[in-house]
């Protein structure tokens, strides 16, 4: 592909960290900045962290000969519920004090750049679709398995937003009526069974029930030190309780994914976030239960694969979102640099 000397800034606004990237329209990452969100210090502080982070990648770009006028805009993936069209974050559940924040306007005033806002999980799905695991398909689902469970859905090369921009909340689909309490207030959500927090909780419940595990020795009886990663690592060592917890996690995930597969018929389901690093330990049971529960015709040809972009997925996807908003990126392999003149920075 012809090299294009135009650039976009992509930002991922997380509850803990802000990641900013300066990315060429070919998808090369030119500069990267990461810093703390500092949500506990108030909204204005977090906004100035975003501004400083963006200015830092602009500065780094300048030092490698990139003029700021060749930076065409900025995309930001943020926590929701939010409204992309209005550029407003209605509530950021894990950043205190963020209620109806007109983030796009604030950033545009500060940075004098066109800014576009997208939900963080949708942005991560777009990132994987543009440059990651999903770069050869136009129908995919991304699940991020971390403290919570996020979801993004791309159908025919477009993110599914829905009437109120809340589509893709796969973590809050119900897999068990009257089941475990979820962070959203409902019971039986997928997130209440498969998030990192839920894995630890289910492990502790089994330990309190009197089941034996290597974990108790490993944390020297300080059960509060048990993490999701430790459960996975100990399962790999052959511990039967941990193996059982991981298998169960795969089963719940498989059921949740089978429902999505039946509903939207994707070509690919991508699992990202910390837990996806457990590789076959989690992917084997997930694939097995998806096969068991999904409608055969929908199941044929669907791949369940790990995410490829790691922590950069959201920021790269925020760049892809800007490209899409400007009509430069419609479906895979249709990137048209000639459309660049439609882009007035
Ligand atoms: Zn929920």
How far is residue 282's CA from residue 52's CA, in Å, rounded to a whole number? 38
CA 122 – ligand 1 centroid, Å: 18
Please give the average per-residue pLDDT across 90-96, as a whole number.
86
CA 174 – ligand 1 centroid, Å: 8
Contacts of 2 (CB under 8 A, 6+ apart): 337
Q: What is the DSSP letter of 232?
A: H
Contacts of 212 (CB under 8 A, 6+ apart): 241
Res 344: pLDDT: 45
Give the Cβ contact number of residue 214 at 10 Å.
16
pLDDT of 157 over the 80 cut? yes
Res 311: pLDDT: 92
Taking only Cα atoms into account, the Rg of the chain, rounded to an integer number of angstroms, comes to: 21
- State the angle between helix axes of 120-131 and 313-325 in degrees (0 to 180), rounded to the nearest 10: 80
Q: From start to end of the chain, where are the E strands?
A: 7-13, 17-24, 29-36, 71-78, 82-83, 88-91, 99-101, 115-119, 140-145, 149-155, 158-159, 268-272, 303-306
CA 1 – ligand 1 centroid, Å: 43
| Structure tokens, 108 | 């545009």
CA 58 – ligand 1 centroid, Å: 39
How far is residue 249's CA from residue 306's CA, in Å, rounded to a whole number? 16
- How confident is the model over 236-279, as pLDDT tens digits? 999 999 999 999 999 999 999 999 999 999 999 999 988 888 88
Res 345: pLDDT: 41
| Structure tokens, 59 | 């500065």
CA 32 – ligand 1 centroid, Å: 33
How far is residue 120's CA from residue 196's CA, in Å, rounded to a whole number? 18
Res 339: pLDDT: 55
Res 298: pLDDT: 82
Whole-prediction pTM: 0.91
How far is residue 35's CA from residue 319's CA, in Å, rounded to a whole number? 19
Percent of the chain at pLDDT exceeding 90: 79
Res 301: pLDDT: 85
């Amino acid at each position: 592909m012809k090299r294009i000397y135009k650039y976009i800034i992509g930002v991922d606004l997380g509850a803990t960290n802000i990641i900013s990237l300066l990315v060429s329209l070919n998808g090369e990452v030119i500069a990267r900045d990461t810093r703390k969100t500092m949500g506990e210090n108030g909204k204005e502080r977090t906004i100035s962290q975003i501004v400083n982070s963006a200015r830092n990648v602009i500065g780094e770009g300048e030092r490698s000969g990139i003029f700021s006028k060749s930076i065409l805009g900025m995309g930001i993936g943020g926590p929701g519920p939010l409204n992309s069209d209005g550029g407003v974050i209605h509530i950021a559940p894990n950043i205190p004090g963020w209620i109806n924040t007109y983030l796009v306007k604030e950033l545009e005033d500060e940075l004098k750049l066109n800014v576009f806002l997208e939900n963080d999980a949708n942005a991560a799905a777009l990132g994987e679709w543009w440059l990651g695991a999903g770069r050869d398909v136009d129908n995919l689902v991304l699940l991020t398995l971390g403290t919570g469970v996020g979801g993004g859905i791309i159908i025919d090369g477009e993110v599914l937003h829905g009437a109120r921009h809340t589509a893709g909340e796969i973590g809050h689909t119900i897999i068990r009526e009257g089941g475990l309490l979820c962070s959203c207030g409902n019971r039986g959500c997928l997130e209440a069974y498969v998030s990192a927090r839920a894995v630890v909780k289910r492990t502790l419940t089994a330990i309190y029930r009197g089941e034996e595990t290597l974990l108790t020795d490993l944390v020297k009886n300080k059960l509060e030190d048990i993490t999701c990663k430790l459960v996975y690592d100990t399962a790999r060592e052959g511990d039967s309780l941990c193996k059982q917890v991981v298998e169960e996690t795969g089963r719940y995930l498989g059921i949740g994914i089978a429902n999505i597969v039946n509903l939207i018929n994707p070509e690919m389901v991508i699992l990202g976030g910390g837990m996806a690093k457990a590789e076959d330990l989690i992917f084997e049971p997930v694939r097995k239960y998806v096969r068991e529960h999904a409608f055969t015709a929908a199941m044929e040809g669907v791949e369940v694969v790990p995410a490829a972009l790691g922590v950069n997925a959201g920021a790269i996807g925020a760049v892809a979102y800007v490209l899409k908003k400007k009509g430069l990126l419609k479906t895979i392999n249709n990137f048209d640099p000639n459309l660049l003149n439609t882009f007035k920075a």
